[in-house]
Amino acid sequence: MKTAASSLKMAGHKMAPTAGISNLPDELLVEILSYLTPQEIYRTVVHVCERWRNIASDPSLWTNLTVHPEDLVARQDVEGHVECCKNDIALIEVAKMTSLRLDALTLRVSNRIIVNRLISDFKPAFPRLKHLDLKEIAIDKTAFEKESKLPCLRSLSVAGASLYHFYNLVDFRNIRHLRVDHLHNYRERLPDSEYTPNLLYLSQTCIHLEELELYGAPLPDDVLESFLTNSRGRLKTLGLTIPCGKPFWVQAIEYNMSTSLVKLIIDQEPNFLEYFFGDIDLLGMRNLSSLKYLEFSVSVRGYYDNWNQARLREFFHSSTFIHLETLNVANVRARGDVVLKSICTEFKFLKHLKISKWSGVSDAGIRAMLSDCNYLETLELRKLDTDFEVETFAALPRTLRKLGLHFCGSMSYEFIIKIHNLHPALSLEYTLDAVLSVRGLFK
């Protein structure tokens, strides 16, 4: 056993910091197990299975609970009102059984009876809850009639329509991560005299924010400035719906976040069609030197394509994103090969690349990109209008671990099989048909 222990220790040093038994090579694992008798191996496996079964069957030991629509069975009475079935009531009881240890709760259901019954007793039921995700649910105000703070909550994701009600539930001074989707619904529910003051109050209360994501409607300028000023030096993730014709936004982001921001997601305003790089001078953001993750979409049409493509190349060339590891760019509608070459030229240490809804991307462009990006670990191609050849993916970077091909040209299952045969160790995700939605995973 000493020899086995020394082998395991040596393997751990080689693969740190992600060492674990699942990472061990088969040869080394066989060598370690060879020092155990069959009876010892059997007893170990039985012991692990028994412990896992006890944890899985005892909700009081769970720390993470996610509820999807398929987990619920809702029915309607003769008047059309949705009621709870026995399965739903049992689910509520299970959720409350997990309460003492639960760290994260995610609800993806629209049954308001269930949601309201859970939320109405949040404080006594979930004393250790740190992560709450209700961003796909519009909650009735009846669930918040009594003030009941969640003392340990640090991360909150909600739908905009429900944001106003959470003031009774959440102490925003403790929140580190805040995400609000469908913010336009929040604006529609409040008069103009209350909308901006409420958001200003929120921005001034969230004094320890590290991650901020607000999507669905642009913020008033003074609210954005308040959020950025109060989070200066701490905010690492920023996701916003950018309005049209607001260069102030770019200046405010660069001024306040130049040394701290690690992840930036730029969403488009719902009615935003053109002039993305014209009215919003993204070039002003090129000095975010600490940035590691960048995601944005180029929303252009017609004769603006070539002009914006040139602006995009200029942005990549003049940026100081020396630490950029992840890039997600959508809607490049002209000369995709040229933009792709610019990415490979400027970001030599890129590890994760996702491109979606691009035009003008050829097999030669992909092959050049794969040969230039020597540190690439994941590559996702989505909704490209190119019929790729298998030979395009014959030579992959030695660092590539995951390849995603979704809705690319007339891609067939035989095409996927050939790539898998070329690289059997590669994690390969694919979606073949937008109508049939044939998805798969080779791993």
29 and 101 housed in the same domain: no
Residue 11 forms part of a structural domain? yes
Q: Are residues 80 and 152 in the same domain?
A: yes
Q: Which domain holds residue 86?
A: 59-170
Per-residue pLDDT, 306: 58
Residues 112 and 84 in one domain: yes
Give the count of domains, the chain: 2
Same domain, 15 and 45: yes
427 belongs to a structural domain: no
Q: Assess if residue 139 is contained within a domain.
A: yes
Query: Which tens digits make up the pLDDT trace of 360-370?
Result: 899 999 999 99
pLDDT above 80 for 296: yes
3-state secondary structure of 329: strand
Determine the pLDDT at residue 4.
47
Q: Tokens at residue 54, please?
A: 């006890």
Query: Could you tell me where the beta strands, DSSP code E, fall in 167-260?
Result: 177-181, 211-214, 237-242
Triad 435, 440, 442: Cα angle to 5°: 155
**What pLDDT does 211 receive?**
94
Cα dihedral 27, 28, 31, 35, rounded to 10, equals: -150
pLDDT value, residue 119: 66
Selected residue with higher pLDDT from 70 and 393: 393
Domain assignment of residue 247, yes or no = no
Residue 271 has pLDDT above 90, yes or no: no
What is the mean predicted confidence (pLDDT) over 242-259? 70
Same structural domain, 124 and 47: no
- Asked whether residue 327 carries a pLDDT value surpassing 60, the answer given is yes
Tell me the β-bridge partners of 353: 327, 379
* Per-residue confidence band for 377, with pLDDT thresholds at 50, 70 and 90: very high
State the alpha helices, DSSP H only, in 209-303.
221-230, 247-257, 276-279
Q: Considering the chain, what is the average pLDDT of its residues?
A: 75
pLDDT at residue 157 tops 80: yes
Which pLDDT value is given to residue 241? 84
How far from the centroid of its chain's Cα atoms is residue 178's Cα? Answer: 13
pLDDT: which is higher, 350 or 260: 350
What is the token pair recorded at 193?
A: 């005299």
Residue 177's pLDDT band (cuts 50, 70, 90): very high
Provide the CB-side half-sphere exposure for 62 (13 A, CA). 17
Assigned domain for 248 exists? no
Confidence (pLDDT) at 36 = 79
Q: Is 49 exposed, middle or buried (0-12, 13-18, 19+ CB in 10 A)?
A: exposed
Distance (Å, rounded) from C-alpha 100 to C-alpha 174? 20
Low-confidence winner among 132-136, 146-150, 238-242, 279-283 (lowest mean pLDDT): 279-283
Query: What angle do helix axes 304-318 and 336-346 make, rounded to 10 degrees?
Result: 10
380 Cβ contact list (under 8 Å, min separation 6): 353, 354, 355, 356, 403, 404, 406, 429
pLDDT of residue 75: 41
Higher pLDDT, 351 or 247: 351
| Residue 118 covered by a domain | yes
Per the domain annotation, does 304 fall within a domain? no
Rounded-to-integer distance, Cα 106 and Cα 228, Å: 28
Asked if the model's pLDDT at residue 280 lies above 80, the reply is no
pLDDT of residue 28: 80
Enumerate the β-bridge partners of residue 178: 156, 212
Residue 196 placed within a domain: no
Average pLDDT over residues 281-300: 74
Structural tokens at position 199: 């958001």
Domain closes at, from 111, 136, 170: 170
Torsion of CA 435, 328, 245, 248, to 10 degrees: 150
Residues 75 and 160 in one domain: yes
From residue 141, give the alpha-carbon distance in Å to each of 62, 373, 422, 440.
29, 52, 56, 42
- Residue 302, pLDDT score: 43
Going by C-alpha positions, the residue among 54, 49, 90 that lies closest to residue 72 is 90
52, pLDDT greater than 80? no
Chain Cα centroid distance, residue 439: 20
**Residue percentage of the chain with pLDDT more than 90:** 14
CA distance 379 to 367: 13
Confidence label for 35 from pLDDT (cuts 50, 70 and 90): confident
Q: 82-84 and 74-76: which strand pairing?
A: antiparallel
Domain boundary among 117, 140, 170: 170
Backbone angles phi, psi at 290, to 5 degrees: -90, 0
33-42, 112-121, 197-206, 345-354, range with the lowest pLDDT = 112-121
Considering 139, 154, 170, which residue would you say is the last residue of a domain?
Answer: 170
* Predicted pLDDT at 393: 93
In this structure, the answer to whether residues 46 and 71 fall within a common structural domain is no
Binned at pLDDT 50, 70 and 90, residue 71 comes out as: low
Distance CA 429, CA 420 (A): 10
Contact present, 213 and 235 (Cβ < 8 Å): no
DSSP characters for 3-28?
A: HHHHHHHHHHHHHTTS--GGGS-HHH
Peptide bond into 17 cis (omega under 30): yes
Same domain, 108 and 166: yes
pLDDT value at residue 270: 45
d(CA 388, CA 392): 7
pLDDT at 129: 84
Are 79 and 162 found together in one domain?
yes
Residue 235 CB neighbours (<10 A): 21
> Tokens at residue 291, please?
């940035």
Higher pLDDT, 421 or 91: 421
Residue 89 has a pLDDT of 56
| Residue 51, pLDDT score | 66
Q: What is the pLDDT of residue 307?
A: 56
Is the pLDDT at 84 greater than 90, yes or no? no
**pTM confidence score:** 0.75
What does the alpha-carbon distance between residue 408 and residue 393 come to, in Å, rounded to a whole number?
14
HEC states along 251-276? HHHHHHHCCCCCEEEEEECCCCCCCH
Same domain flag for 32 and 134: no
Task: Give the whole-angstrom CA distance, residue 195 versus residue 192.
Answer: 5
Query: 52: which 2 tokens?
Result: 């896992």
CA gap 317, 314 in Å, rounded: 5
In angstroms, the CA 386 to CA 30 distance is 45
Structure tokens at 232: 């200066």
In this structure, the answer to whether residues 83 and 166 fall within a common structural domain is yes
